[in-house]
Structure 1
Amino acid sequence: MKLYKIWALLLLLKLIQPVLSFAQNHNPVKREHLLIDTGWRFALGHPYDVKKDFYNGTGYFSYLAKTGYGDGAADPNFDDRTWRKLNLPHDWAVEQGFDPKASLSHGFKAIGRNFPDASVGWYRKSVFIPAKDLGRKISIAFDGVFRNSIIWVNGHYLGTEPSGYHGFEYDITDYLNYGGENVIAVRADVTIEEGWFYEGAGIYRHVWLNKTDPLHVVPNGTFVRSKLENNQAVVTASVTLKNEALDNQKFNIKQSIADADGKVVASGELQNLELNVLTEKEYTLTIPMVKPRLWDLENPYLYQLLTTISKNGEVIDEYKTTFGIRTIRFDADKGFFLNGKRIEIKGTNNHQDHAGLGVALPDELQYFRISKLKEMGSNAYRCSHNPPTPELLDACDKLGMLVIDENRLMGITDQNLAYLKKLIIRDRNHPSIISWSIGNEEWNIEGNITGARIAKTMQAFAKTIDTTRAITAAVSGGIGNGISTTIDLLGYNYVATKNTDEQHKKYPAQFSWGTEEGSTVASRGLYVTNMAQHEIAAYDTRQNENFLSLEDGWKHYASRPYLAGMFVWTGFDYRGEPTPFGWPSVLSYFGMLDLCGFPKDNTWYLKSWWTDKPTLHLLPHWNWKGKEGTPIDVKAYSNCDEVELFLNKKSLGKKRMEPNGHLSWTVNYAPGTLEAIGFKNGKKILTDVVKTTSEPTQITITQETIPVANSNIAILTVDVRDVSGKSVPTAVNDIDFEINGPAKIIGVGNGNPTSLEPDQFIEQVSVVRINNLKEKAISAIDDLSKLTTATTDWDYAFKQERTQEFGKKVTALIYRGDFDLTDWSDQTKITFFYKSLGKEQSIYINGKKIAYKLLANKKGNAFTLDRSVLKAGKNTIAILAIPILKVQSWDNINTDPGAIQVLKPAAGWKRKLFSGLAQVIVQSTGDKGEVSLTASSNGLKPAKIKLKL
C-alpha cells in the first residue's frame, strides 16, 4: 500500500511539474536587450553553385516549402566547425583584395557579379535560451546586414530583408528550444549593389536578442516631443504597447523623466488600462517640466524617459528612451533656428566606411569621426545616402551635431513607404535630427511631374509620423520643376549650375539649404597635380564648370541668409567613386579629411570661417629638394585680419584677409623656414611654420583622443621624424606593426587613394573535403587487412541503405577516401573535424592511427593533425566502424565523415606611410593586462607605445 502511494505521489508530481514550471516562468521579469555579437562562425558561400553554397535550398522539402526545413547551412545540425570564428560587426568585403574587374563605385574590392566566390557570406551562431524564459516574447534584431539577408532560427525561415541599411526584427518565441541551444543562420548576398559607393558585405552592425513580457512596449515604441514657453516645457510622451498574451491585459503606465545624473525630475501616470488580445495601441501622457536644460550644439544635454509597465503591482516592462529638449524651425528668409537662435548650418556629407575597417565600425569610432568634424567647425552631418547605424546618431546626440537623416530610395509603394516609416520611427527621438531627407539626386524624376508627385506623397506620409521636422530632398537638376516645386525644404546640390535667388523669388515661402557643395578633389599632403599618377594638388581648385570651389561655395551660402547653410561633399574620404580617375584609384578624393581622419588643408579653410577660434595654417610643406629657385604656390588659411609671410626670416609681404577668403603668395623655393604671422587689431596673435626636413631617422606613435569613457579601441597615428624631431611630410616608409597583450589590430590605413595594400591581415581558413569515399565489409573494427589494399572492387560509401537487415549481414565496415593538402608550412594548423560514421570507430590517416574505438558523438570529434602524419599532396584516410542503423525508414543516417580545416596564421600587420602618415586601429579583447604596440622599419629607430584601453 505504501509503495502504491509513493508511485501515485511521483505520478502526480510528474503531472503537475509542467504547471509549476509554467507558473515559475511567469514571474514578472523585466525586459532584456542582449548584445549577441560574439562567437559567430563565418564562411563564404555562392550565389548559384549549390555545392559551394552548402546545398542550401536543395532539399526535397526546403525552407520555402515547409516550416522548419532549413537545409544546408541553415540546418541547425549542420557542422560549421571548419568555419572561421569571428565577432561582429564584420565586413567581409574589406578583407578582399582589389581587382580592376571589380566595381569602380565600390572601390574595386573583389566582390559582386564578377566575383561569385566572394559574393555570398554565411554566418552561424548558437544561443542558449534558459528554460525560465518560456512564456516571454523573444525576438532577434539586426541593426543592418548588407545585403539581401535571409535568416533562420533552428531551421525555421524567418524572412528576407533586401535592404542593406534598414534594421529588422523577427519574433522567434515559438521556434525556440527552451533550456537548450538555438542555432541562428544568416545568408547575405552582395551580388547586386544597392548604392554607387562602397557598401561593404555582411553583418556589419550589431545583433540583439530581445526578451519581454507578452505585454510590452513595441520596438522603437516611444515618441517624445516637447514645447517650450517661459522657461517651462511640456513633454508629450507617447508609447505603443502590444499585448501578445492570449487573454486581455490590465495594466498601468508610468513615464518618468530623469536628468543626466539619473534624478527623476518629472513624471506622469495612466492607470487602469486594458488591452485586448493580440492588439497594439498608442498611449500619450503630457508631462510638465520647470526650467529644463536645453539640448544645443555647445551643451548637448540629454534626458532619459523611463517607461514602466506594471500589472498587479509588479513591473513587467521597462523601456528607456534618450531624448533632448530643444526647439527647431526653418525660416524661408532667415534660415535655421535652434532654441530661437539662428544657426548657420556648417555641414558635411558622409558615407559610413573608415580606413582598415570598411563599414564594420566599432561604436567608439563613430565618436572619433564626429569629434574630428566638430574640430574643423562643422555642426551638421548628412547621412549620405541611407539610414545610419544607431550608434552614429547617439554620437551626434552626445557630442552636439545636427543631422539630416536620409531615406535610401524614393517611391510610394507599400515597401517604399514602410522603409521611410521604419527610418522615422527608429530615429525620431534623437534631438540631433533636424530634417528627414526623402531622396537624393533622383535624376530620372527630380525635374518632372513624376518626381513632384512622388515627393508630395512621401512628404505628406512622413508628416503623418512626425510633424516636428522639415522634409527635404537633395536636387542636383531640374530646379524650378519637379521635386523643387513641392518640397518644403529644398536641398541644392551644387549651385554652380543653379540660380538660388531666382528660385527663392519664385517660391518665397520655401525653406532652402545646400545639401551638397564644394565638391573639390585633393590628395592629402600632395601639392603638384600629376594626372598620370592619380595625384591631385591639395589646393582648393574647382573640379570643373559644374562645381564651385569650397571657398566660392561657402561664400555663396554665407552671403544669403535665406539659405540655411550648406553641407560639404564630403567630410571624410570614402572607398569608391574615385573621381576623376578609375583604376588603380580606389578611394574618393572629395574629403576634407582623408579615410583615416587625417585633415587635408581645406579643413583649415573651414576652421577659419566656421569657428571663432583664431586659426592660421600655411601650405604647402617645404620639402622641395631639386626645385631650388622654382616658384611655389603658398597659401594661408586664417581668420586673422592680416598675415605676413617670411622665408628664412625675410618678409615676403603682409596681406589683408578677405572675409571667407584666403591669402596667396608665389615664393621661389629655398630650403629653410617658411613662417606666417597672423595679426588681429594690429597685434601679432598666431604663428604657423613649415620647415625643410632631413631624412627620417625614427618612428613616432601617438594615441588619438576618443571622446568616450573607457574606450574599447585605440586609434594610433604613426609618422616618422628627422634627427631634429620634425615630422617628415613626404615620407613613404614601410612600417611593420607588432602588438602584445590582450588586444588585437583590427585595421590599418594611410589615406592614399591609390594604395592597393591590404586593409586587414587575417588568418586564412580553407576547407579540404574527403573525396572518393568507398566502403568494404570487414569482420570487426580491429580487422586491418583492408587498411592499405586497393579499393577497385569496393562499393561507393552508403550505396546500401543502413537498414536493420543490412545490420544483420554487416557487422563492421571500413571506409576509405583521400584528401589533398597543398601549400602548407610549419605554421599551418591542420584540424580534422570528424563526424561519426559508426556506433564505434577507429581512424587512420596514411596508415597511422588517429583514434581508436571512438564512441559515436553527436557533436563530433576534432583532431589536430601532426605533420608527421601528413604529407603534401594526396593523403589517405580509413575509418573502421560498426555501422549506425536506421530504426525507422525515414531516419537520416550521417554519411559525411567531416572535413579538414587548414588554418594559416595571419601575416604580420604593415602599412606604407602616405604623405608621412599611417593609422592603426587596435581593439581590446576584454581581458586584463598591459597592451603595447611596436612600429618598426628598416633603417629607422622603432617606436613602442603602451596603450590606454
Structure 2
Amino acid sequence: MNSFEKDWRFTRNSGKGFESAELDDSSWEKIDIPHDWAIAGPFSPDHDSEVIVDDPIEHTRKVFSHPGCTGGLPHVGKGFYRKHFELNLKPEQSARVEFDGIMSHAEVYCNGRYVGGRPYGYSSFALDLTPFVKNGTNLLAVSAENPPGASRWYPGAGIYRHARLIVAGRIHIAYCGIRVRTEGNRVTVRTEIENPSARKVVLTTRLIDPDGNEIASCQTSGDRLFHCEFIPDEVRRWQPGNPVLYKIVSILGDERHETGFGFRDLTFDSRKGFFINGIPMKFQGVCLHHDLGLAGAAVDRDITRHRLNQLASIGCNAIRTAHNPPDPELLDLCDELGFLVICEAFDEWKRPKTPRGYNLLFEEWSERDLRDMIRRDANHPSVIMWSIGNEIPEQYYPEGPEMTRRLCGICHEEDPSRPVTAGLNNVDDSITGGLFDAIDVKGFNYKPYIYARYHAAFPDAPIYSSESASTVSSRGEYSDRLFEESGRKDNLQVDSFDLCCADSATIPDHEFKGQDDNPFVMGEFVWTGFDYLGEPTPYHREWVRSSFFGIFDLCGIPKDRAWLYRSRWSKQPTLHLMPHWNWQGFEGKEIPVQCYSSFKTVELFVNGISMGSRTRNPKKLLGAYRHVWSRVPYSPGELKAVALDEKGKALAETSVFTAGAPEQLQIDCERCGNMVFAVVSVTDRNGNLCPHASERIDIESNGKILAVDAGDPGSAKPFPLPYVNAFHGKCAAWIRNPGKTLILAKAVLNGKTVQTEITAEA
C-alpha cells in the first residue's frame, strides 16, 4: 500500500457539498483504500433484487423476483470519500491522481473544484491535478454511485482498486505512455511525453535482462514522441511454465519508469490450434469475475496470487477476465506466474442485458474505454487476445456486424499484434448477420457439439471455447442418486457429482469430448474458476447469495471438480474419491460413487470387498473421463479406490472413511505475502473429516481477521464477523499479518468445548 492509499474518510450519508473544504469529515469512517463499501453487509434479498420476465427453469413467461442476482449486498447507491494530503509543488512540477478503478460513475473534486470522472467502474483513468492543487494541505473528494439494475453479478462498490498520487515534472512521461512491442528478437519502444512547452528533451531507454543486467541502451531527443529499437543476439522466451520477464527502464530527467515485458510469438492456426513460441498449447483456462469471494471486490495482490496458485495447482494455464477490464495487478501476476490472458472489455453494447448497465454508456464511452484498456495492458506478455464482448445481444440484430467491425478496428489500430475475439452463444445468427466473420478468433460459449460442423464450413476460422461447462455444485453436498437435471434441491444446494449444469450449458465431459474429437479447437475457459457473489443458478427465485459454478468454492476450498480438471490438465497423478462415506440410515442401500483419476483403470473396494473395476471407455461419455459406480451397497467403514496398471498392479490408492462423532478441529494454513489463508476442518478422533458437521466455529488471531466464511451459497452471515457455521465440515478465514501469525479455532463439538491453534511463520 502506498502512502496515498492510507487515511481516507468515507461515508454513505453526505450528499451535496461533500467536496467542500469547509465540511467537517471528522465523524466519517476512517479507511484505507482499496475499499469495498458493501462487502461487510448486511446481506438482504431486497438489495438490488432483479425482476425477471422469463423463467429458464419452467420455460414460461412470468414476472418474478430474482433476489440473489447480484449477491444481496448493499452496493446500490452513493458513497463519498475524502483525502487530505500535503503537497509542495515547485513551478517546474506537475501532479496527477491515478485510479485503477472506481465502482462506479466516479466524480473527482480537488479543493472543491470538479476535476473529472469515469462512469465505467472497470476502467482505469488519470486526472491532472496541477491546476487545482496548492502548496500546503489539499483535499481530494470522490463520489461513486452504483445504480440499481446495473450489473448481472456483484460489482463491488467504491474505490476498490489502487490509487496513486504522482508528482513529476511539467514535462513527463504520459500516463500509459510507454508501449513495448516484440517480434522475434526485435523489441521496439514507443514513448509519449506530456510536454506543454514543446522544447526538446532527452529520453534514455534501457533494456534489462531477467537477471537485472543492462544489455542495451539508447538516448533519443525530441519533444513528444520517442522511438527506439533493440535487437539482442539471444533472448529467453516468455511462456507458461517459463515466464521469463525483461524490463524497459525509461529515464526522463529525475523521472524513472520500469515496464515489464516478455519475448513471445503467438500463432492461432485454424487447423492445428494455438502455438506459443512454436510450441503447441491448449488453453486450460477458467473465466474469472473480479471479486475475491469472501474478501470482496477490493483488490488484494496476495489473495489474488493465492487464487492463481490454486488454479495452477490443477494445471490451469489461462484466464478470461469475465466480463470487463481486469485489475492491472492481476495481469502483473499472470506475467510473473505464466498465465495466458484474454482481456475482455464489455458484457453488453447498446442492447441491454440489465436496465441501467453499460448499454447507457456504450455510445459515448465504448471507444475510450476500449482504447484505454489496450493502452494500459498491451505491454503484458500474458495478454494474448482482446475480447470485445460476451454473449452480446447484437448477435441477433442487423447492426451487430457494423458495431463489431468498429470495435475490432479500434483494437487493431491500437495493437496490430494481437487478434480480437468475442464469446458467442448464438453462432448461427452471428454467421448469418456477419458478426462471426468480423472477429479474428471465434469464441464459442457452450457449443462442443458443433465444432466439427463449423470447422467444415469455415476451415480457416480459429476456434476455441470461450466459455465451457457451467456445471453447478456445492462443495461436499451429495445425494443417494446421480442427478442429471438442473440440480435444484429443497435445501437450496446442488450435488457435487458434477452432472448438473446451467440451462443451455454442458457438463465438463461434453466439452472434453468435443475438444478430443476436434483437435483444431484451441482449448477452453471453464465457467468459472471460483464461485462468486451473485448469479446463483439454478435458484432464480429463492434467496441464495452466491454462485455454484466454481471449481473452487467462494472461500477458495476445492470442490470435487478441481480433481476432475486436474486429472485432465495436470501432469501430476490424480486419484480422488467421492462421496463421503457417512450414510447413516442407508445401510444395505445403494450409493453412487465416482473417482476422478489420471489413471486408466481403477478398482473400488468397500471394507476390502471389491465392487469391480472401471476402465476409461472413450465410447461412453461418463466412462471416458471419470470412473463411475452407480450402485454401491453402503456399509460403514472404508471406501477405497486403487489405480491399476494393465497387469493389475496397484499404482496408487486413496480412501474415505466413515467418520465418528466430531471431536477435533484441524487447521491448515498457507502464507501468501502479508496474508494467511486458514482452513478449519471438523474431524473425529482419528482425524477423519465429519462431512455433516455444521457447528459454529470461532476464529481468533493476533492478526487482522479480514473475513470468515464456509462456502455455503445460502449463508447470510456477514464476512467480517470472526465466526461461521461449518459447511460440510469446513470453513476458512483470511487473516492479514506480515509477521508471525497465531490462529486459534474454537467450537463446541459433541457437547465439549474444543480448540486448536497453529502458527504461520512470517
- TM-score (norm. length: structure 1): 0.73
Structure 2 counterpart of 1:339, from 277, 286, 306: 277
**8 Å contact kept, 2:583–2:634:** yes
| CA–CA distance in structure 2, aligned partners of residues 84 and 739 of structure 1 | 24
Deviations 1:509-564 (A, max 9, x none): 22111111111111111012661111211112143662221111121023212211
Mapping of residues 192-231 of structure 1, within 5 Å: 192-228=148-184
Q: How far apart, in 2, do the equivalents of 1:490 and 1:90 lie?
A: 37
User: What is the Cα deviation at residue 657 of structure 1?
Assistant: 2.0
Equivalence map 1:390-401=2 (5 Å): 390-401=328-339
Using a 3 Å threshold, how does the CA distance of structure 1 residues 361 and 317 change in structure 2: closer, same or farther?
closer
> Which of 394, 403, 408 is residue 454 of structure 1 equivalent to?
403
Q: Is the 8 A contact 1:302 1:324 kept in 2?
A: yes
Aligned to 2:640: 675
Confirm whether residue 254 of structure 1 aligns to residue 219 of structure 2: no
Q: Tell me, yes or no, if the aligned pair for 1:347 and 1:567 is still in contact at 8 Å.
A: yes
- Whether the 8 Å CA contact 1:696–1:940 is kept in 2: the answer is no
Which deviates more from structure 2 when the two are superposed, residues 318-327 or residues 448-457? Answer: 448-457
CA distance change for structure 1 residues 580 and 90 in 2, over 3 Å: closer, same or farther? same
Deviation at 1:362, TM superposition (A): 1.4
Q: Which amino acid aligns with 1:359?
A: A
Task: Note the C-alpha offset of 1:501.
Answer: 2.4
Match in the other structure for 2:65: none
Identify if the C-alpha distance between structure 1 residues 213 and 661 changes in structure 2 by more than 3 Å, giving closer, same or farther.
Answer: same
> Could you tell me how far 1:99 is from its partner in structure 2?
1.8
SS in 2 for 1:236: strand
Is residue 473–residue 500 contact of structure 2 (8 Å, CA) maintained in 1?
Answer: no
Tell me, what secondary structure is at the counterpart of 1:609?
helix
8 Å Cα contact 2:472-2:502 kept in structure 1: no
Pairing of 1:108-257 with structure 2 (within 5 A)? 108-112=72-76, 119-131=77-89, 133-178=90-135, 180-228=136-184, 233-244=185-196, 247-257=197-207
Contact 1:410 1:438 in 2 (8 A): no
Unmatched 5+ residue regions in structure 1? 1-32, 46-52, 57-71, 113-118, 276-280, 310-314, 762-908
Hey, what does 2:425 align to over in structure 1?
Answer: 476
Partner residue of 2:8 out of 24, 37, 40: 40
Q: 1:501 aligns with which of 452, 455, 458?
A: 452
How far is 1:452 from its partner? 1.0
| Cα shift at 1:249 | 2.1
| Residue in structure 1 matching 2:384, options 426, 434, 451 | 434
Task: Return the alpha-carbon distance in structure 1 between the equivalents of residues 753 and 525 of structure 2.
Answer: 42
Instruction: Verify the 8 A CA contact 1:417 1:458 in the aligned structure 2.
Output: yes
Deviation at residue 150 of structure 1 after TM alignment: 1.1
Contact (CA 8 Å) 1:596, 1:919: kept in 2 or not?
Answer: yes
Aligned equivalent of 1:282: 225
Matched-pair contact (CA < 8 Å) for 2:478–2:495: yes
> Following the alignment from structure 2 to structure 1, what is the Cα–Cα distance between the partners of residues 756 and 264?
48
1:922-933 mapped onto 2 (5 Å cutoff)? 922-924=735-737, 930-933=740-743
| AA in 2 matched with 1:947 | A
Assess if the C-alpha contact under 8 Å between 1:698 and 1:940 holds in 2.
no
Identity rate, percent: 33
Question: Secondary structure of the residue that 1:347 maps to in structure 2?
Answer: strand
Q: Distance in 1 between matches of 2:155 and 2:503?
A: 30
Residues 393-415 of structure 1, C-alpha deviations (whole Å, 9 max, x = no match)? 11111111110100024467452
Alpha-carbon distance in structure 1 between the residues aligned to 2:198 and 2:194: 11
Report the CA distance shift for 1:150/1:35 in structure 2 as closer, same or farther (over 3 A): same
Give, in whole Å, the separation in 2 of the partners of 1:936 and 1:744. 17
Residue number in structure 1 paired with 2:554: 595
Q: Secondary structure at the match of 2:80?
A: strand
Q: Which amino acid aligns with 2:33?
A: L
What amino acid is the match of 2:746? S
Superposed displacement of residue 583, structure 1: 2.8
For residues 293 and 404 of structure 1, do their structure 2 counterparts lie closer, same or farther at Cα, with a shift above 3 Å needed? same
CA–CA distance in 1 between the matches of 2:507 and 2:500?
Answer: 4
1:292 is matched by which residue type in structure 2?
A: V
Query: What does residue 575 of structure 1 align with?
Result: 533
Structure-2 change in CA distance of 1:644 and 1:219 (3 Å): same
Report the secondary structure of 1:420's partner residue. Answer: helix
Q: Say whether the 8 Å CA contact 1:355–1:759 is kept in structure 2.
A: no
Provide Cα deviations, 1:858-912, integer angstroms capped at 9, x if missing partner: xxxxxxxxxxxxxxxxxxxxxxxxxxxxxxxxxxxxxxxxxxxxxxxxxxx2111
In structure 2, what is the Cα distance between the partners aligned to 1:241 and 1:76? 33
Report Cα offsets for 1:738-768 as digits up to 9, x if no partner: 222xx3111112111101111124xxxxxxx
> CA–CA distance in 1 between the matches of 2:761 and 2:152?
38
The 8 Å contact of residues 302 and 323 in structure 1, kept in 2 or not, is answered as: yes
Contact conserved, 1:639 with 1:657, CA < 8 A, in 2?
Answer: no
Q: Matches of residues 262-661 of structure 1 in structure 2 within 5 Å?
A: 262-270=212-220, 273-275=221-223, 281-309=224-252, 315-408=253-346, 409-410=348-349, 413=363, 415-443=365-393, 445-479=394-428, 480-482=431-433, 483-495=435-447, 499-528=450-479, 531-543=489-501, 546-581=504-539, 582-658=541-617, 661=625
After superposition, what is the alpha-carbon deviation per residue over 1:122-150, rounded to whole angstroms, capped at 9, x for unaligned? 1111111135x443111011111111111
Output the CA distance in 2 between the equivalents of 1:653 and 1:737: 44
How far, CA to CA, are the matches of 1:350 and 1:403 in structure 2?
A: 11
Preserved contact between residue 35 and residue 207 of structure 1 (Cα < 8 Å): no
One-letter code aligned to 1:85 = K
Partner of residue 670, structure 2: 704
1:735 touches 1:935 (CA, 8 Å); kept in 2?
A: yes
Q: How many angstroms apart in 2 are the aligned matches of 1:407 and 1:111?
A: 22
Contact (CA 8 Å) 1:355, 1:747: kept in 2 or not?
Answer: no
Using the TM superposition, give the Cα deviation of residue 252 of structure 1 relative to its aligned residue in structure 2, in angstroms: 2.0
Give the structure-2-normalised TM-score.
0.90
8 Å CA contact 2:204, 2:218 repeated in 1:
yes
1:691 pairs with 2:657: yes
Stretches of structure 2 that go unaligned for 5 or more consecutive residues are 50-67, 351-361, 480-486, 619-623
Counterpart-to-counterpart distance in 1, 2:293 and 2:71: 12
The Cα shift of 1:378 comes to 1.1
Instruction: Answer with 1 or 2: which has the greater Rg.
Output: 1
Measured against aligned partners, the alpha-carbon deviations of 1:476-530 in whole angstroms (never above 9, x if no partner) come to 114323321321111111116x623232222222211111111111111101266
Instruction: Give distance in 2, aligned partners of 1:212 and 1:554.
Output: 53
Measured in 1, the distance between the counterparts of 2:689 and 2:674 equals 29
- For residue 100 of structure 1, the aligned residue among 42, 45, 50 is 45
Describe how 1:737-756 pairs up with structure 2 within 5 A: 737-740=699-702, 743-756=703-716
> What is the aligned-residue RMSD (CA, Å)?
1.8
Cα distance in 1 between the residues matched to 2:736 and 2:602: 44
Q: Does 1:947 align with 2:760?
A: yes
Deviation at 1:213, TM superposition (A): 1.2
